[in-house]
Structure 1
């Protein structure tokens, strides 16, 4: 694979109020008109244009080498391969009912949120969410206080689920504290989470406070606490949420499923808009920056003279980057 780069050029259109063109290395090349070369102090509005608008002989302003360029839901994460101003994000959102695109950095991300609308009484602004309830759920939530419709159906995993285009996109497993402890001890909970992990999004909701775990009398609290911690580490993408009461657990389940449905629908729409497949990745996933201790150990193993503690010279980090890229 050749070099992965973000290219910034001058917009040849003299009448445009957006003086720059930005080209991302995705889907054959995504091109936007924009106001700046990087979202340093504010989020930059981006106007999508066709690839044909990219000049045959562009007046290049800057070429930014990238460590990764990857779509995540309704946004594209862009990680530059340089010491400063590394991370930014292209977000596809809506404003006043119109599709809009913003380029933001960590300092400016609050000004443009990926496909999130102004909060309303309805979760994610969905007027009538359909929630599937597993036929084996004995004391199912009724969702009487929420604007939802429910359908009984045998689910492959979880007690409650939502679908997009006929496919389950998220599920929630409900547990009382007694059921949680029982299934944890007999091993059933491990298998349940394993099945939930096959879904795009899933969660486990518990109808009790976490503090009640340490008030258990028929089993050692430490056994339960350690077991839950081990399961959370084993399946970090499945949150275990304690919601104090059954009513709050029902509300949380509704909000979670609505948010997951909204995210999945927005993700599908974004894929259609930008023409990027499911992985949406260029250059592979971004690697985290190494710690000073890791670079120090690498330098010593390669015969470089570095101090036993404190900061390392910039050239040592540069040597590590050069070796890593090589």
Structure 2
């Protein structure tokens, strides 16, 4: 399964065409080849995929699925792997934007992340669970990492061979699935067995109310119930890492 990107054979301000391997092939015109710094405006090509396209890039995909009004893709590569095509209506016509987690943030905090060493520590070693595929690296936080199977959580701190603190990392879709499926409460109870634990969601809280495939009120209620039942494990919405 591949995402194909070719030069647009038509005279257009959108110089590329993209073939999404879904529903027999969806052909879009696009402004660029990947949403690296900003959302990319697209619209339907209106013509079939050329028989002899001028291919610019072939991107192998791990997945390509439709989720409500968007199409989510995951590329089979370590960087620039996740993005989505969002289909919406504006001024009575269809509009399509190609975006990723970085470019969806309408308001980016114009701040520098702290780089100071944790107080009282010469070095902080963070244990990364072996099942974590795309792990945070903490390259600017004066911390080191090592891989090890954790009994709970994705990132942890060990003292005298005891797990003393953990963080469970979740994307918005993962959080929504865990809340609506009733699995989140059990996960929090597992995390609560560690002296210090938290769930970090890689999105802002308001993004819950923009989801289309599940009722936002259901998620908000489930989230509140989780925090009441397991108050020792906070769920933190962090827009950036």
TM-score (norm: length of structure 1): 0.38
Distance 1:224 1:171 in 2: 24
CA distance in 1, matches of 2:183, 2:234: 17
Q: 2:213 aligns with which of 218, 229, 232?
A: 218
Aligned residues: 128
From the superposition, tell whether residues 165 and 214 of structure 1 become closer, same or farther in structure 2 (CA, over 3 Å): same
> What is aligned with 2:197?
202
Cα contact 2:132–2:154 (8 A) shared by 1: yes
1:163 pairs with 2:158: yes
Shift of 1:127: 2.9
**Which one scores higher on RCO, CA 8 angstroms, separation ≥ 6?**
1
Where in structure 2 are there 5+ consecutive unaligned residues?
Answer: 1-113
Question: CA 1:152 to 1:185, structure 2 compared with 1: closer, same or farther past 3 Å?
Answer: same
Q: CA deviation at 1:120?
A: 8.5
Counterpart residue number, 1:228 = 223
In 1, are the aligned partners of 2:126 and 2:157 still within 8 Å (CA)? yes
Name the structure 1 match of 2:237. Answer: 242
Normalized per residue, the structure richer in strand is 2
What is the alpha-carbon distance in structure 1 between the residues aligned to residue 222 and residue 168 of structure 2?
17
Q: Distance between the aligned counterparts of 1:228 and 1:149, measured in 2?
A: 32
Unaligned runs of 5+ residues in structure 1 are 1-118, 248-326
**Partner in structure 1 of residue 148 of structure 2:** 153
CA–CA distance in structure 2, aligned partners of residues 201 and 207 of structure 1: 20
CA–CA distance in structure 1, aligned partners of residues 219 and 172 of structure 2: 11
CA RMSD across the alignment = 1.6
Task: Decide whether aligned partners of structure 1 residues 188 and 131 sit closer, same or farther in structure 2, where only a CA change above 3 A counts.
Answer: same
How far apart in 2 are the matches of 1:240 and 1:133?
19
Paired with 1:205 and 1:150, the residues of 2 have a C-alpha distance of: 18
Q: Is the 8 A contact 1:122 1:146 kept in 2?
A: yes
Quick one: which of 179, 186, 195 aligns to 2:181?
A: 186
CA distance in 1, matches of 2:155, 2:137: 11
CA distance in 2, matches of 1:120, 1:131: 15
Question: If you compute each CA radius of gyration, which structure gives the higher value, 1 or 2?
Answer: 1
| Residue-by-residue CA offset, 1:221-275 (whole Å, 9 max, x unaligned) | 0011000100000000111100112x2xxxxxxxxxxxxxxxxxxxxxxxxxxxx
Q: Which has the higher helix share?
A: 1
